Structure 1
Amino acid sequence: MTQLETLLQQLEQSIARHETLNQAVSQASVGWHIEHTLLTLNGIQQVLAASDPARYRWRFSLGRLVFFTFKRIPRGRAKSPEVVLPKGPISAETLTAHLARTRAILPRLAALPAGSYFYHPYFGDLRRDQALRFLEIHTRHHVAIIADILA
């Protein structure tokens, strides 16, 4: 869990420059990437908490195998689900508040039953530990994009 906490610190350091945009790197601002990452973390935690481990079904997924082997997301390839796309204005205050809510759920995320799972549109059902690895890789991906925008 410390990896996610470290990544959240890096996101927090970028909040002051949330309006920064670099079209050569991304069509979205730093604030959009922060908000999207926080929405993803919070949304997956909610789905994991509400899941019924008895309904989990393992299925082979080549995409999942490649993703967890190489631990990276190619830029500009995937389309995010509507539920994790930021809506409305993004300010430093809203990002700071959202970050505080996300930090509060991290202990609950680690404490969920190991059989908790969520459905990922490309990788299928991911159990808690896979979901935590996914969240680390996903967050690191957006932290890297933010760093490139700010460079």
Structure 2
Amino acid sequence: MQNLQNLISQLETKIPLYEKTNSSVSSSTVGWQIEHSLKTIYQIASVVKNSNPQEYQWKFNKSKLFISILGFIPRGKAKAPKVVLPDENISEESLINSLQNVNAILEEWKSFDNDAYFKHPYFGNLNKKSTMWFLKLHTNHHLKIVNDICNK
């Protein structure tokens, strides 16, 4: 799987197409997909940053195992939490701002403790390494949707 920065760079190239839609792929715009991906990265990285690594506990999770074997997130199977849903005012400027915020927090990511964590609603507690796995998986999922919107 590609690294997260590469996936983000691919999303960045699609920012000029933020208003593009294709109802046969998704009811949302390219901009919505990009903003949702960036908000997800930023929000999750913020939670990891502010977590207490001493409280992290690993627990087997069959949903995580299934998705890691599958290697992708099936479309239309999960509902995004409100905190990562974009508002209606998506613009090229707002996407660039979100991109800058993500790049800044990912710079900080390097200094996070390995047991810093995020509690995923389906996969349970994900430490720094597992959280990065999820962020790549999720970003790739939305990048595929963006590419499908642009290519159909």
Q: Aligning the two structures, in what range does the TM-score lie when normalised by the shorter sequence?
A: over 0.9
For 2:7 and 2:26, how far apart are their aligned partners in 1?
A: 20
RMSD (Å) for aligned C-alpha atoms: 1.1
Q: Is the 8 A contact 2:46 2:105 kept in 1?
A: no
For 2:72 and 2:66, how far apart are their aligned partners in 1?
A: 9
Q: Is the 8 A contact 2:21 2:29 kept in 1?
A: yes
For 1:74 and 1:52, how far apart are their aligned partners in 2?
A: 31
For 1:140 and 1:125, how far apart are their aligned partners in 2?
A: 21
Residue 78 (structure 1) aligned with residue 86 (structure 2)? no
1:33-112 maps to which residues of 2 (within 5 A)?
Answer: 33-112=33-112
Ranges of 4+ aligned residues in structure 1 off by more than 4 Å: none
Instruction: Give percent identity, aligned residues only.
Output: 41
Partner-residue secondary structure (3-state), 1:90: coil
Q: Which residue of 2 aligns with 1:7?
A: 7
Q: Is the 8 A contact 2:20 2:150 kept in 1?
A: yes
Residue 115 (structure 1) aligned with residue 115 (structure 2)? yes
Deviates more, 1:30-39 or 1:94-103: 94-103
For 1:98 and 1:3, how far apart are their aligned partners in 2?
A: 19
Once the two structures are superposed, residues 101-142 of structure 1 have per-residue CA deviations (whole angstroms, 9 ceiling, x without a partner) of: 111211211321000001000000000000001101110111
For 1:44 and 1:109, how far apart are their aligned partners in 2?
A: 11
What TM-score do the two structures reach when normalised by structure 1? Answer: 0.95
For 1:68 and 1:111, how far apart are their aligned partners in 2?
A: 26
For 2:66 and 2:110, how far apart are their aligned partners in 1?
A: 24
Partner-residue secondary structure (3-state), 1:5: helix
For 2:47 and 2:85, how far apart are their aligned partners in 1?
A: 16
1:67 to partner: Cα distance:
1.5
**Structure 1: where are the runs of 5+ without partners?**
none
Partner-residue secondary structure (3-state), 1:58: coil
Letter in 2 for 1:111: S
For 1:141 and 1:88, how far apart are their aligned partners in 2?
A: 21
For 2:149 and 2:20, how far apart are their aligned partners in 1?
A: 7
For 2:21 and 2:110, how far apart are their aligned partners in 1?
A: 34
For 1:76 and 1:124, how far apart are their aligned partners in 2?
A: 20
